[in-house]
Structure 1
Amino acid sequence: MTIDDEESEEPNEELVSRIIKVTPELAEIYLSKATVNRRLNAGQVRTLMETIIRGEWKLTHQGIAFDSNGTLLDGQHRLHAIIEANTPVEMVVFEGLSKDVFSVLDTGKRRSAADTLFSTGEKYLSQLSSTIRHVILFNTMPNLPWRGAQARVSNDQILAAYNEDPDRYRESVSIGRELSKHLFASWTAVSTAVFLTTEAAPAGEIEAWISGLKSGAGLDSHDARLALREVPKDIQKRSSKRKMNMRDQMAIYIKAWNAWVDPEKAGELRLHRLKKTEKMPMPIKLPFEFK
C-alpha cells in the first residue's frame, strides 16, 4: 500500500479496503500520516499490546482508516500497540474515507466480558464474567492492587478461562449467590473465593464447609465457619480510613477457610482486611482424609 505524502489535487472518493500485515515499521509510517487524532490512552495501548503478545489478536472489521488524502483517521492505538509489541499483525486497512466520519468513529458501545459469554447460554453473565476476571487476577497478581491498566483482563482471557472449567465456574457463581446472603462479602467476592477454595478441595468434601456457612447450625464457638458468618455485614462502614475492596473480602474468606482446614496452623483466627504489607493468603489444600 502506498500513501502519497502530498495532498492529492483530485481526492479519490472510492473507498478501498484490503487486509495487510502491519509491521512495527509500517505502523510508524502510518502514524506519521496522522494530523488530528484523539488523545492517546496509554492503558488502551498496553491492553492491545498484551493481546498481541499473548497471541490473541484476531482479524476483524476494525482496523486502520485513512481519508481520501491519505491522512490517518482511525487506528492510532492499534498502531502504537503493534510498535510496543514489536510484532506484526494482520488488519483491514481502509482508504478513501470522507474526513467527516472522524467524529463518529469508535462511538459505539464497547463489548463487555458478559457480552462475550452470552453465547454460552449461562445465567448471571455479569457475575460470571466478574468472577472469572478476579480468579485470573488472584492467580496472576495476588499481591498487587486490582485496579487500573495493570488489572485489565481481556474478553478472550475470560472466555478461555471459562472454557477450561465451565462447570465449576457455574457452580461457584451459584453457591456464591446463596452464601453472600449470609456473609459480609459481595456476591463476586464469595463466588471467586468459592472457586479458589474448591480448587483446593477433593470432590465432595466441600459440602460441609458450604452447608455450615449457609445455616450456621451446630457450629461450636471456635469453628472458623461461625467466625466468618459473624463478620459484620456493615464492616465497611466501621472504618473511615479505607473502604474494604475485593482483595480484602476474599482474603477474609480464605483466612477462614484455611483455619477450618488446618486449625493448628491458623492459631488465633483474626478475620480482618489486609494490612499494607500483608500478602494475600493462599487456600490450603484440603486433604482427602479430612473429616
Structure 2
Amino acid sequence: MVEDTFMALKYYTLDVFTDRRFGGNPLAVVLGGDALSGETMQAIAREFNLSETVFVLGSTRPAHSAKMRIFTPRSEIPFAGHPTIGTATLLAELNAPVHNGEKDALIMLEQGIGTVRVGARFRAGAPPFAEFDAPKLPAEAGVLPPDDVIAAGLGLIPSEVGFENHHPICYAAGHTFAFVPVTTLEAIGRARVNGSHWEKAFDEQGITGVYVYTRQCVHTGSSFHVRMFAPQVGIAEDPATGSAAVGLAGLVHQFDGLPDGTHKRVVEQGYEMGRPSQIVLTLVVAAGKLTMVRIGGSSVRVSEGMIEV
C-alpha cells in the first residue's frame, strides 16, 4: 500500500472451535486488505494480539472465494486450522444465500499452503459449523531429545511422559509440532514452558510448538485432552489448534492401529485457559494407510468494527 494513504477496513472477531462466545480460540478477520503491505498486516496482528489475525484478499482464480494471509503476533504462517474455520464461516455467513432458513456453502480459500476447501453449514438453533480436509497429510518429522529432557522442558517428571505405546514424536502437516503424551489430566494441568529447560528440549528442534495430550478428559465424549505451547511464534498457549490436530491424526493412526474405515475423535483443549474448545477430528484409513484428515468445529461472531490504517 501507499503508506501515507488513510484507509478504514472492516473487521470481525470470532471465537472458533466453540458453540458460545468467550470460549474457543479468538480470531480477528480483516476484510479488504489487498492494498496493505505485509509489514502493515504484521503491525495490525500485533495490535489485535490474538494467536492469529487473518487478512482477506481478492481471489486469484474465479472459482475461489478469497485469498487469505495469516499472521501471529510475530510472523506470517502459511496455514492454520482455526483461521480457516473462522474465515470460511464468516464469509459464508456474509455472502452465501439462505434457503428455508438454512444455508450450506463451499468456501475455497487460497492460503500459503495451497487451496483449502471448507464446507460450512448453518442451521436454526445451532452455531455455524465448518470443516475442511487437511491440505497435507501428517508425516513424521524431526527427532526429539530423551524423555527426561522433554519432561524437564515441560516442568514434569519423566514418569509422567508417555502412556501405553505412545511416546514423544514430531509430526508435520504444514507446521511441525512436537507431540508429547502425558499420563494424566492432573499432570497435563501442571505442564508449562519451563525456562531454560524448555530451550534445551525444544528450541533447537525447528518446531512450531509443543502439543501435549492425554486420554484422560474433562468430558466423556472427548477422546483426548490437549494443550499447545508455542512461545517461538509468540503464542504462550493456544486455546485450540486445528493444524496440530492434523498431526495428532498421524500419531493416532500410528500408535492406535486404526482399522480401515472412518474414525472420529473429539479433541478438547483450552480448559486450563478458561477457553474450552472442541475440535472434531475425522480420519479415513484405507488399505492400512491414513488417506484423509478432516478438521471441524463451530464458531460464533463476537464483535465487528472498523480499523483505521
TM tier relative to shorter chain: under 0.3
Higher RCO (CA-CA < 8 Å; seq separation 6+): 2
Q: Which has the larger radius of gyration?
A: 1
Q: Give the TM-score normalised by structure 2.
A: 0.20
Task: Judging by fraction of residues, say which structure has more helix.
Answer: 1
Q: Give the TM-score normalised by structure 1.
A: 0.21
